[in-house]
Structure 1
């Protein structure tokens, strides 16, 4: 009995130990918590819209149509440049008197407004490659005896404030001359010529030619002078904005290379850019 009892005891113990081992082996791992779904990617920031300042009183380069839209040669050029550069632009009418401050203060990202590239302006602005050749022109009444720029030395001359026309007439007559009559825009100066308030107007030749052609009742004529220096327009950006300037210059080079610039030029001036054509500058 003793040996049987011991054997059974051992068998029973073995059975219990085996059950425990099996139970341990069959124990399930705790359920894993599901990982949270990845967050949706953040929406891409909206593309920057570059604000372009322009004095829209300078047809055919920049003006407002009957709908109030800003149109003109400069506008079409910048639109084409922006398309090539892959940037978006918005044009804002900006008075000439404050246009450079608007750029410096960051209210405008770039300027296109028949702006002549000068050494003085390059001290505070950066310019694109030139996109238009320009020269000054004298407007007088049809019966005027004025034949050259020097004839204006002691006459009343209308100019647009702060333009290169203003500069050359001031240099001719002197800074203290009361005969230099300054206006907010060239068309206003030309209206004053029509009214007899000034003897002549010196301004950008493209603008003068456009005005004379579209106001035949004024009976104006134009007088050119070899003393007027050749000028060039540039698109202006804030000093040091190399990234934007590079984009503009690339876009400008592209539209000149593929013929887009010549098409725009011809639509306004009836000739290719390589040929002599009416030009303008501020």
Structure 2
């Protein structure tokens, strides 16, 4: 009886341990759990019941190169940020996460894997020509993104005309429904939206003076051992042509890998 109880308790303990954080996937070793916010086409989004996008394909190449097993779960943006910071249920996040000095205080990052910048989207006939023209307008952004940070500086952090929404889909709907005068979001998201809605007469505005280039990295908890495994794999994927193949699939052009590899 004691022997049976001991075995049951031991089994329960093993199940409990593997239920938290990275799991042992048997012969394949540790299975790492990645979180994402799959509402960011073409970077990561749901196509019916399937998760797809640039980040999804890129991560597959990196994990194959690193020889690591993983799961990718659509958790939403805020949940991803919180859970990756804790490092228990999820060991990493990939969701077009810009590398910023502020985030570096709470997270580690992989080396950069994507160059981006923010872009303004308005309706045809809008008087807006640059980010500073948005100062007295109604603007929608996704909360806790670099677009939120940039527009908070331009418009004022407590400005009621700055609408901080849970995702860019809601922000774009606000513009469609005349709830705001403009949306500010990552260039890939804005261009994809315009491409998919050619009859809606939207206009894109680039503003390199106010919106500098930024770089995405895989988000990690502070002190993560996964960084040492991901960084060499990312570098190899960028160098061996696999990155360019994924990039061309989603954006129809060659990436500037030289500039990307120069980033630290």
Alignment TM-score, normalising by the size of structure 2:
0.85
Q: Which has the higher strand share?
A: 2
Residue 201 of structure 2: aligned partner: 219
**Match in the other structure for 1:146:** 128
Counterpart of 2:67 in structure 1 is: 86
Q: Is the 8 A contact 1:139 1:201 kept in 2?
A: yes
**Structure 1 unaligned spans of 5+:** 1-43, 276-282
2:83 to 89, 102, 105: 102
Q: Which residue of 1 aligns with 2:178?
A: 196
RMSD: 1.5
Aligned-partner SS, 1:74: helix
Displaced runs of 4 or more, over 3 A: none
Q: 1-side partners of 2:71 and 2:79: how far apart? A: 18
- Kindly state the Cα deviation for residue 183 of structure 1 after the two structures are TM-superposed: 1.0
Deviations 1:61-96 (A, max 9, x none): 000112x12111011111100001010111100111
The reply on whether 1:260 has 2:242 as its aligned counterpart is yes
CA distance in 1, matches of 2:206, 2:240: 33
SS of residue in 2 equivalent to 1:217: coil
1:108-135 Cα distance to aligned partner (Å, 9 max, x none) = 1111000000011111111011000010
Displacement of 1:217 in angstroms is 2.9
SS of residue matched to 1:218: coil
Moved more, 202-211 or 220-229: 220-229
In the alignment, is residue 234 of structure 1 matched against residue 217 of structure 2? yes
Equivalent-residue separation in structure 2 for 1:55 and 1:146 (angstroms): 30
| Cα deviation digits, residues 143-198 of structure 1 (max 9, x gap) | 21111111100110000011100111111111221100111111210111010000
Determine whether 1:130 maps to 2:112: yes
Instruction: Please state whether the residue corresponding to 1:208 is helix, strand or coil.
Output: helix
Tell me the distance in 2 between the aligned counterparts of 1:82 and 1:267: 19
Closer, same or farther in 2 for the Cα pair 1:233/1:156, shift >3 Å? same
Larger Rg: 1
Question: Which of 109, 121, 138 is the equivalent residue of 2:103?
Answer: 121
- 1:215, distance to aligned residue in structure 2 (A): 1.4
SS in 2 for 1:229: coil
* CA shift for structure 1 position 45: 6.9
Number of residues of Structure 1 aligned to a counterpart in Structure 2: 231
8 Å Cα contact 2:25-2:31 kept in structure 1: no
Runs of 5+ in structure 2 lacking a partner? 1-23, 258-264
Q: TM-score, normalised by structure 1?
A: 0.79
